[in-house]
Structure 1
Amino acid sequence: MIDKKYARAEHSILIRGSGVYLDRFTPTHNDSEIPIVLMPTRLVHEKGVAIFIEAARILKARGIKAHFQIAGGETKHNPKAISRAQMLEMVSDGAVEWLGRVNNMPDLLAQASLIVYPSYYGEGIPRVLLEACAAGRAIVTTDHAGCREAVEHGVNGLLVPVKDAHATAQAIEHILGHTDERRAMEIQSRKRAEDQFDIHAIVEETVRVYGEI
């Protein structure tokens, strides 16, 4: 709004519109021998589903031992949605396991060692990334509006160019191969959630600001 000259900076107040219930997520460090690399998403092409699958294939070809999963059900009434038939074809080579729709996201995130979200979809801060931060997970996502607001490159994850499976694969391999760095990223993700994405703090701030208008 400010960039487009619809509002003046000195007359504007920025309130984060997205938040998460932190108490639903318990940060834990996962040291599984074969790590789970998880992409939670709605099945829409622009979320980067094909990029994630291609990155998994690249890493499998390199001999990287990891279990790649996509969690998400079909999306209705979206012309860019991935159908069930398309999804089954995309994962038919076994590089990635499609879990379908998952109802208990906190448990799923707790089982994962790394969250990947190579989206180039136009949206605010994706809820997937808010929840990944709350769960204390290292994240690989794109240097794209919304995504970069949840992840600071080199701090709680890595940012990669959009539509770049090779860069995504490289980032995944780097984090999986550096346990101490991943652990530090996990701590920073939770801290970021506590500092910026706590839904209770956001609601309180919103009420306070409206009370002063």
Structure 2
Amino acid sequence: MKKVCYLINSDWYFELHWSERALAAKAAGYEVHVICHYEGDEIKSRLEKHGFICHNSLISAQSYNPVGFILTFSRIWKMLNRLDPDVLHCVTIKSFLAGGIYAQVKSRPVILSFAGLGRVFDNGKMLINGLRFFVLSIYKYIAKNPQAVLVFEHESDQERLISLTGIDKEQTRVIDGAGINTDDYPYTSEPIQTPPVVLFASRMLWSKGLRDLISVRKSLAKDDIHFTLNVAGILSTDDADAIPLSMLEQWHKEGTINWLGRSNNVSQLIEAANIVALPSTYSEGVPRILLEAASMGRACLAYDVGGCKSIVQDGANGFLVARKDKAGLESQLKRLLQDAPLRHKMGLVGRELALTKFSSAQVIVKTLRLYEGV
């Protein structure tokens, strides 16, 4: 039996974004191994019930400690030597470095999936600039492996990395996001409610744009335009960009937001909302929350960064606003809040877009073809 090995930072990220594709690989006859950092037994147990074989890398997603990375790097190499996978599928930068170098040295096939280029490519600080130079050098080295394939969620990331590295475009592919199971996220008519509800569901990072939404909410309230801001997502306590739980709780106490915590049923949150907003300021892949919102027929609002424009077609199923343009964000949110027929029309367009371009069935077919190709 052929083996496919997923190398990824976090257990929750694999479960949320990759488990459906891994299940399809298993159904296609692959033995599926998942190497990542398991925070506890809960997610690991669920993955093992799917028939996946789990291995703990102990990799730290946010640490820049070179000694720690070298130790993790050694641990991952030992695992890969033991497993000897037919297909190595790496997700996120640290996994690219460990898995990509391994595949180059061992002359093995490897797939690198970019869910956005990451904050290393957005931040202008000296340390980050140094890391970016290092990472680009490693990407060039990995790409010398003729069996390496680089996969992007949208063409702008593909074009940018090619321009920065000189990698041959023939060695790259574009697969539109993680895909969405449109049966799990069915179209629903938005609720009639006063005030309307705007949903922000994401990792709790400052760069995801919650502060801008709060600023817009306060500004619109001065014009007697009100909405409930529902906030849900995953806390990232080990990330320098993390919004502290104490801040979220303070905003909740003040009535600024309705803090819902981490949700295991995002579809219910979307169903209860009128609008879904993600004014993220860094280069995303194709954000899952926007895919889910479109599938369920909700108008979306986002900054024009990364793959947001792949799923939010400006004026069709939502609005795109220039990055960090809070005045534009306020204007377009006001328009959506005051025009229910427009939201309804946009919701129908979003559902059709999810069905025709972003369904997980299409993503799975493309992914399995990729495995067969390498």
**Correspondence list, 1:1-213, <5 A:** 1-4=161-164, 6-9=166-169, 12-34=172-194, 35-212=196-373
Q: Assess if the C-alpha contact under 8 Å between 1:27 and 1:134 holds in 2.
A: yes
Tell me the CA shift for residue 183 of structure 1: 1.0
More moved, 25-34 vs 149-158: 25-34
What do the CA deviations read for 1:131-166 (whole angstroms, capped 9, x no partner)?
Answer: 111222100100111212221100110011222333
Q: Which has the higher contact order (CA 8 A, sep 6+)?
A: 1
Poorly superposed stretches of 4+, deviation over 6 Å: none
Distance 2:173 2:207 in 1: 31
For 1:130 and 1:16, how far apart are their aligned partners in 2? Answer: 10
1:7 deviation in Å? 3.4
Aligned 8 A contact 1:51 1:164 in 2: no
Which residues of structure 1 form unaligned runs of 5+?
none
1:3 partner letter: S
- SS of structure 2 residue aligned to 1:29: coil
TM value normalised by structure 2:
0.53
The whole-number CA distance in structure 1 between the counterparts of 2:190 and 2:278 is: 19
With over 3 angstroms needed to count, the CA separation of the structure-2 counterparts of 1:4 and 1:113, relative to structure 1, is same
Count of residues in Structure 1 that have an aligned counterpart in Structure 2: 213
Which TM-score applies when normalising by structure 1?
0.90
Higher strand proportion = 2
Query: Counterparts of 2:277 and 2:324 in 1: how far apart (Å)?
Result: 13
Quote the RMSD (CA, aligned, Å).
Answer: 2.0
Kindly tell me: are residues 146 and 63 of structure 1, through their superposed partners in 2, closer, same or farther at Cα, counting changes over 3 Å? same
- CA-CA distance at 1:15 after TM superposition: 2.4
Distance in 1 of aligned mates of 2:256 and 2:237: 26
Identical-residue share of aligned pairs (%)? 30
Which moves more between the two structures, 148-157 or 83-92? 83-92
* Cα pair 2:284 2:305 within 8 Å, conserved: no
Unmatched runs of 5 consecutive residues or more in structure 2 = 1-160
